[in-house]
Amino acid sequence: MRKKGYHIIRRAGGPAGGGKPAEQIIREAREAAKSNYRTQSLRIHGLICAKCGREFDITESRLLTVHHRDGNSANNPPDGSNWENLCIYCHDDEHGRSTLGDYFAKASKDKTPK
C-alpha cells in the first residue's frame, strides 16, 4: 500500500541555474527580457523608423532600435505604449538633443545675474 504525502523531485542538472553565479543568471535574464521587448516592439510597430519614416526589411532590422518614450528602460508595457522604433541615426539624434538641451539649460543658469 502506498503512503500519501509529498516527496521531493530532483531536477536533472543539479541546483537551479545549473551552478551559475547569481550575477550571470541575472545578466542572462536581463538580456532575454531586452531582446524580448525589442522583438515585441518590432512586431507591434513594424520595421519603420517613427521619426524619419525610413522603412527597413528583415535583413536591416538590426538598424532599428527601441526608444523608451519616458526614458525609463525598465518600463516595458506589453502593449508597446512606451516604445517607438527609431533607426540608429534618429535614436542618436533623440538622445543628443536632450544632452544638448541640458547643456544649454545649465549654461543659461550660469549666466543669470545673482
Distance CA 54, CA 65 (A): 13
Does residue 2 register a pLDDT over 70? Answer: no
Give the HSE-up count for residue 74: Cα atoms under 13 Å, Cβ half-sphere: 0
| Claim: this prediction has a pTM higher than 0.75 | no
C-alpha 37/C-alpha 78 separation (Å) is 8
Distance between CA atoms of 70 and 13, rounded to whole angstroms?
A: 41
Domain ranges of the chain: 25-111
pLDDT for residue 3: 59
Check residue 111 and give its pLDDT: 66
Q: Which of 103, 31, 94, 97 is nearest to 68 (CA)?
A: 94
Question: Pick the residue with more confidence: 76 or 55?
Answer: 55
Inter-residue contact 70 to 30 (CB < 8 Å)? no
Confidence of residue 76 (pLDDT cuts 50, 70, 90): confident
Q: What distances in angstroms separate CA 8 from CA 3, 40, 74, one per listed residue?
A: 14, 38, 36
Output the pLDDT for position 106.
75
DSSP state of 67: E
Q: Is the pLDDT of residue 16 over 60?
A: no
CATH number given to 25-111: 3.40.1800
**Band of pLDDT at residue 105, cut at 50, 70 and 90:** confident
